[in-house]
């Protein structure tokens, strides 16, 4: 369980947030509708055929409807003047008037209209303030505008205020390019309102950009509310991932207790049942038969006098070593951290490791009367990952322990260590060893298939760093240096299914740090991947690859399949696709540079040095052949990149530009280059 100091909880929401879903802006005018009314009203994604004849649709609109729609639009503010006019400024973030271009020390700003726009970067991200419009009477159902900057809910946002209350809000996407947003004001027609642009964040991306506010009878982008009234459309909110697990609502982090029993995968997870911010840690619970179609059940473990429920693991005690089971009914046993001192009830207690068991497949739980089973031994002991070691007939518990030691200056210093404990019955634990190198939080230790050498165990920590080595039931010895497990920005606290009937080891990470403006949920899990060892010239390395069950979401054959075609032909075909939830495979030349823009997210190959860059983060590929292989797994708010058959992975969360569902392939020196690609659309796992 990540500690609050490492992962500070998001600030409590100060206003209701509403997201916005992409549609193509066919004529580039804020007053033009971009979807048929049925899809607009229900907030649904239309079939691909609705999107593709863009030019035909735009021409029809311009010829028959556009002039009437545009005539009805009311431009409220375009910020082309020297100052803000009647808008009221507080603080120092917005300066004395509209920006006329990118401000000092700011990344390049784009997407605004005309010469002026609102930019709260005056004074940098540390500055704060508000910009509030004069009062107006709401006369049209939609407010269309451009917004950019930070994605901090309630902190860097454009709000509509009615009767002193924020009723609608939108943020940027941590991007300096302004994108179209629409707020549905239909229920407020006839009421007085104000627009308030807010900068109340002093950290990274602590600013907001805005421009071109237009009231209209039509929506430039379909506004989507945080709660969908039609129950059949639940899990279809604007920024809801469609095949990555998210809680029905509220905060989620580390995966816990990954076990399978009687054909059912169990996913327990850190969850706050009371809010969208980190806190009040409880074990949520969901089940699936295929790792993608999840059903969320009632909470498994609640806080008690020992503390809130931090991370841990679960096992199936098939030999009933614990004595909790019944004939033909092995118990499911959870070992978890009770975070003493994290609640009023546990005030003054330390972190300890506790036990609970279930006899009904995890639906109800009994906490062990002899808790804690491992007393506190250091600073913030946490995250036990228990497994059965058959050769020694013992349970093994890797556990993070913060060891206090004196630094060179005489001050206390906490060293991040891994302790290993063993037990015959899950209730009585004995210290066995400690790992020689530092390792922080959420340890995992598992034996993998695929290596021809004696070193076939993998040990990892929360940030994805890993070692390959040997394990004798008591001590792990590394035979490799510390290796990078994920090169992206958003993988943390991974845990594995390591006792499956088919002997696969399946890893599930928490994709920490994602942003979901206005959604009822917060945070998502990564796509499940299988772990295998591969022997390479550099030594054994771990291969990660999406589980085969992902293929079950294929919407019915490839959207595009081209083998060894010219770069020009392939780029043209890719540019014509409408992408949102996709599985994309590419073979690109390794002897020249190229760039991919996938919904605005950059993927770059620098052949001199063999460097692959995703969103600016870099990995050096051990490139031997003529091509670079990529598999790109795209969901609404994430991209997972697998390179060189899974030996390199990037996990990234992002908010794509609403007006960009395209893929660009650029290769400056493309003469004679051949490219292969296959693109498949993936269905939503939340739909029947």
Cα torsion through 108, 112, 115, 120, rounded to 10:
-70
Q: Which residues contact 232 (CB under 8 A, 6 or more apart)?
A: none
How many Å apart are CA 529 and CA 547, to the nearest integer?
Answer: 5
Shortest CA distance to 382 belongs to which of 399, 403, 404?
399
As beta bridge partners, residue 179 has: 147
> Could you count the other beta carbons within 10 Å of the beta carbon of residue 256?
31
- Rounded alpha-carbon distances, angstroms, from residue 389 to 455, 458, 471: 16, 14, 10
Beta-strand pair 379-382/366-367: unpaired
* Dihedrals phi, psi of 360, to nearest 5 degrees: -130, 45
Find, among 229, 220, 224, 160, the residue nearest to 188 by Cα. Answer: 160
Q: Tell me the CA distances in angstroms from 195 to 187, 432, 658, one per residue in order.
A: 16, 63, 22
Transcribe 472-498 into DSSP letters: -SS-EEESS--B-S--SSS-EEEEEE-
With 0-12 / 13-18 / 19 or more C-beta atoms within 10 angstroms meaning exposed / middle / buried, residue 135 is: exposed
Phi (first) and psi of residue 193, to 5 degrees: -150, 170
Q: Shortest CA distance to 662 belongs to which of 569, 600, 595, 590?
A: 600
Q: Annotated catalytic sites, by residue? A: 254
Q: Two tokens at 237?
A: 């909110």
* Contact residues for 369 (Cβ-Cβ < 8 A; gap 6+): none
CB 597 within 8 A of CB 664: yes
What secondary structure letter does DSSP report for 528? P
Edge-to-edge, what's the strand order for the sheet holding 674-681? 560-566, 674-681, 582-589, 627-635, 638-643, 648-653
Dihedral sign (CA 81, 83, 88, 89): positive
C-alpha neighbours within 13 Å on the C-beta side of residue 233? 16
Which residues, 6 or more positions from 524, have their beta carbon under 8 angstroms from its beta carbon?
Answer: 241, 244, 245, 246, 252, 511, 514, 637, 638, 653
* Token duo for residue 63: 């010829």
Query: In angstroms, rounded to a whole number, what is the distance separating the alpha carbons of residues 499 and 271?
Result: 24
d(CA 428, CA 421): 10
Query: CA-to-CA distance for 182 and 19, rounded, in angstroms?
Result: 9
Cβ-contact 470, 479 below 8 angstroms = yes
C-alpha 510, offset from chain centre: 7
Q: Which of 683, 685, 667, 657 is nearest to 110 (CA)?
A: 657
């Amino acid at each position: 369980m990540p500690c609050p100091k490492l992962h500070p909880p998001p600030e409590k929401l100060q206003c209701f947030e509403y997201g916005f879903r992409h549609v193509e802006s066919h004529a580039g005018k804020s007053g033009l509708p971009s979807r048929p009314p049925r899809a607009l009203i229900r907030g649904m994604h239309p079939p691909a055929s609705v999107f593709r004849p863009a030019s035909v649709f735009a021409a029809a609109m311009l010829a028959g409807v556009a002039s009437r729609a545009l005539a009805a639009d009311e431009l409220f503010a375009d910020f082309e003047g020297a100052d803000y006019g009647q808008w009221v400024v507080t603080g120092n973030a917005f300066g004395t008037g509209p920006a006329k271009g990118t401000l000092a020390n700011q990344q390049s700003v784009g997407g605004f209209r005309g010469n002026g726009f609102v930019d709260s970067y005056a004074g940098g991200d540390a500055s704060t303030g508000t910009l509030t419009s004069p009062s107006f009477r709401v006369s049209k159902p939609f407010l269309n505008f451009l917004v950019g900057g930070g994605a901090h809910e309630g902190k860097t946002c454009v709000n509509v205020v009615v009767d002193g209350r924020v009723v609608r809000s939108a943020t940027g996407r941590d991007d300096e390019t302004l994108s179209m947003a629409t707020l549905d004001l239909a229920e407020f027609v006839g009421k007085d309102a104000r627009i308030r642009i807010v900068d109340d964040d002093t950290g990274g991306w602590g600013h907001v950009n805005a421009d071109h506010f237009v009231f209209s009878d039509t929506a430039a982008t379909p506004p989507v509310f945080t709660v969908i009234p039609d129950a059949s459309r639940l899990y279809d909110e604007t920024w809801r991932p469609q095949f990555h697990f998210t809680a029905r609502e509220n905060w989620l982090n580390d995966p816990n207790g990954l076990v399978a029993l009687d054909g059912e995968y169990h996913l327990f997870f850190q969850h706050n049942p009371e809010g969208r911010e980190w806190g009040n840690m409880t074990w949520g619970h969901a089940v699936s038969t295929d790792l993608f179609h999840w059903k969320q059940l009632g909470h498994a473990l609640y806080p008690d006098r020992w503390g809130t429920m931090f991370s841990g693991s679960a096992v199936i005690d098939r030999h009933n070593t614990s004595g909790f089971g019944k004939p033909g009914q092995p118990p499911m046993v959870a070992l978890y951290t009770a975070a003493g001192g994290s609640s009023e009830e546990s005030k003054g207690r330390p972190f300890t490791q506790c036990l609970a068991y279930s006899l009904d497949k995890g639906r109800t739980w009994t906490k062990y009367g002899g808790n804690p089973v491992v007393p506190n031994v250091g600073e913030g002991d946490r995250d036990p990952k228990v497994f059965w070691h058959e050769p020694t007939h013992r349970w093994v518990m890797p556990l993070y322990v913060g060891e206090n030691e004196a630094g060179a200056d005489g001050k206390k210093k906490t060293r991040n260590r891994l302790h290993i404990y063993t037990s015959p019955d899950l209730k009585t634990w004995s210290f066995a060893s400690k790992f020689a190198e530092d390792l922080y939080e959420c340890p995992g230790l598992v034996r993998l298939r695929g290596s021809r050498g004696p070193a076939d165990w993998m040990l990892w920590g929360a940030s994805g760093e890993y070692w390959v080595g040997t394990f004798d039931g008591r001590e792990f010895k590394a035979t490799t240096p510390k290796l990078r497990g994920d090169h992206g920005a958003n993988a943390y606290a991974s845990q594995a299914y390591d006792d499956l009937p088919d002997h696969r080891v399946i890893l599930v990470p928490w994709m920490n740090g994602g942003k979901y403006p206005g959604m009822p949920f917060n945070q998502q899990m990564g796509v499940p991947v299988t772990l295998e060892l591969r022997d390479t010239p550099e030594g054994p390395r771990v291969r990660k690859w999406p589980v085969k069950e992902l293929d079950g979401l294929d919407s019915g054959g490839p959207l595009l399949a081209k083998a060894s075609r010219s770069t020009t032909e392939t780029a043209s075909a890719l540019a014509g696709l409408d992408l949102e939830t996709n599985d994309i495979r590419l073979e690109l030349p390794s002897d020249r540079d190229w760039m991919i823009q996938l919904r605005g997210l950059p993927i770059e190959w620098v052949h001199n040095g063999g460097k692959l860059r995703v969103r600016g983060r870099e990995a050096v590929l051990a490139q031997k052949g003529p091509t670079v292989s990529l598999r790109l797994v795209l969901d609404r708010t994430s991209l997972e990149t697998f390179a060189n058959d899974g030996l390199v992975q990037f996990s990234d969360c992002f908010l794509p530009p609403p007006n960009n569902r395209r893929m660009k392939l650029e290769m400056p020196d493309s003469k004679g280059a051949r490219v292969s690609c296959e693109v498949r659309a993936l269905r939503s796992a939340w739909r029947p």
